[in-house]
Amino acid sequence: MTLNDVDHQDLQRARRLLENPGLAARLAAVIGMPLEKAIAILPRRVTDEIGRLTQGAIHVSLRSALATLRSPDRHGGPQRASEGWHTAAASLMGAASGFLGAPALAIELPISLTIMMRSIADIARSEGADLEVPATQLDCVQVLALGGSTGSGEGAGPAYLATREALAQATSDAINHVGRRGLRRTDAPALVRLITTVAERFSVNVTERAAAQAIPVIGAASGALVNGLFIDHFQGMARGHFIIRRLERKYGGEVVQEAYTHYAA
C-alpha cells in the first residue's frame, strides 16, 4: 500500500515539524543571547530542582488534562483543536512567571504543563485519536520527549523515529499497565519508568525556558512570549506526531515510517 497525494503532503508536513523544532534558537532570539549564558544565570537550586519538578508535573498534568476532554464524535468526525486558546492561557502563566522570576517555577510549571498537555490531547483528538485508548494517552506523554536531546547511541536516521524507538519498551509496558488499571495509579513502576524517561528529555527544554524567563530584562511581557514559544513548539511536535499516528492507523507503521525515512534522507 502506498500513500495517496494528500497523505504524502501531510507526512511531509509532519516531517518538517518534527525534524526542525528550533526551540533553543527561537528562545535565544527572544532573550538576545545564547542559552548557555542564560542558563548560567539560573540559581543552582533551580537547575537542581527542575528534574524533580518536571516528573511531578507530568504526573499531575496527564490526568488533569485528559479529564477535561472527550474523544471525537464518531459520527461528526474529529473536532478542530483550540490551539490559540491554549497558547493564550500558557502565555498568561508565562507573564506571571516572568514577573515573579525563578522562585515561581514550582507553582507555575504544573499549571503550564497541564495547559500544554491539554493542548496536546486536543490536537490528538483533532487528528482522530481516541483519548480513551491507553496508547493515545501515553502518546500525549511521549510528545514531551520530542524535539529535545536525543542523546547518543540511538542510531542514525531521523531524530523523531530514534526517539520513538528509545521509548518503545517503556511505552509498551506503560500501555499494558494503563490498559489494566487506568491512570488512577500513576505511581506504578511501568508508568513511572516512562515518565522518568520522558522527563529527562523534557527537563532540558524546561531548563532552557526557565533560563530565558530568568533574564532580568525579560519581565512579564517577554515572559509571556517565552511561554508562548514554548507551547507553540510542543503543539508543533504534537501535530506532527499525531499526523504520523493517523497515517499509521490507515497504512500501517512500516509503510509510513519507511516513507518518513525517505523524506528525511
C-alpha cell recorded at residue 166: 528509545
pLDDT at 6: 96
Give the pLDDT confidence score for residue 179 in this predicted structure: 80
Question: Which spans in the chain are helix H?
Answer: 5-19, 23-31, 35-41, 44-67, 83-100, 105-126, 134-143, 159-181, 189-214, 219-251, 253-264
Q: What is the pLDDT of residue 92?
A: 55
pTM above 0.95, yes or no: no
Domain containing 191: what range? 5-264
Contacts of 23 (CB under 8 A, 6+ apart): 147, 205, 208, 229, 230, 233
Q: State the pLDDT at residue 187.
A: 67
* 61-84: b (≥16 Cβ within 10 Å) or e: bbebbbeeeebbeeeeebeebebe
Please list the rounded mean pLDDT of every run of 10 residues in the chain (265 residues).
92 91 79 84 82 86 73 56 58 52 70 87 91 90 78 60 93 87 73 92 88 69 76 92 97 95 75
Q: How many domains does the chain fold into? A: 1
